[in-house]
Amino acid sequence: MKEAHQPPVLRTPRLVLRPFAPADLEALHTYRSDPEWGRYLPLPHPYTLAHARTDLAEYVSLDAATHPFWAIEHQGQVVGNIDAELEAMGRALIGWGIARPLWRRGLTSEAARAVVAWCFEAWPVRRVYATASARNVGSWRVMEQVGMRREALLRGHREERGVVADEVVYGILRDEWTPTDHRADRGEHVRDLGG
């Protein structure tokens, strides 16, 4: 079996995005077990330590060549996650989540800008996009702050804790992305892809 590549470490002014490690189990469980955190996500409720252990095992085994999955570290603590998935047709899908006590501080946007920049630098993609529940205003505001545009409203496209909900799709094209506008927010990257 081929060894999976580890995601690179990305640094922003306030965050470190790094590979998940086995020692992150408690932190992952802590922020994900908050009922409000997973309100719009297809996560089990309640979210147990066993669920966190299963998820963590998946995240550390993903191959960063096509699906890097980062722990978001703030002030030395793992407080969230963000990932990017290389898809066919020259596109990448990103997704994120951060601990509820840190909502509305711009940290998720800071992490998302770093990952969008990394996608355009590391992969030959022409488009980076994200999706969210149409009810998850905080998430689609992050998409807008990163420079994405709303492209679609998919009616009845997802299920949230047994309730059918609409989904929004936001995207940004390579020729719309201006790295110089975001450099101060995303900080310097550590470009080692590891392995």
Instruction: Give domain status of residue 181, yes or no.
Output: no
Tell me the CATH number at 27.
3.40.630.30
Q: What is the identity of the amino acid at 88?
A: A
Q: What is the pLDDT of residue 184?
A: 37
- The answer on pLDDT for 176 being more than 90 is yes
Q: What is the pLDDT of residue 4?
A: 57
Mean pLDDT of 40-58: 92
Instruction: Give domain status of residue 58, yes or no.
Output: yes
> For residue 191, how many other CB atoms are within 10 A of its CB?
11
Instruction: Give domain status of residue 195, yes or no.
Output: no
Share of the chain above pLDDT 90, in %: 76
Number of domains, the chain: 1
Instruction: Give domain status of residue 191, yes or no.
Output: no
Helix (H) or strand (E) holding 165: strand 163-173
- The answer on pLDDT for 125 being more than 60 is yes
Whether the Cβ atoms of residue 83 and residue 95 lie closer than 8 Å to each other: yes
Q: What is the pLDDT of residue 191?
A: 31
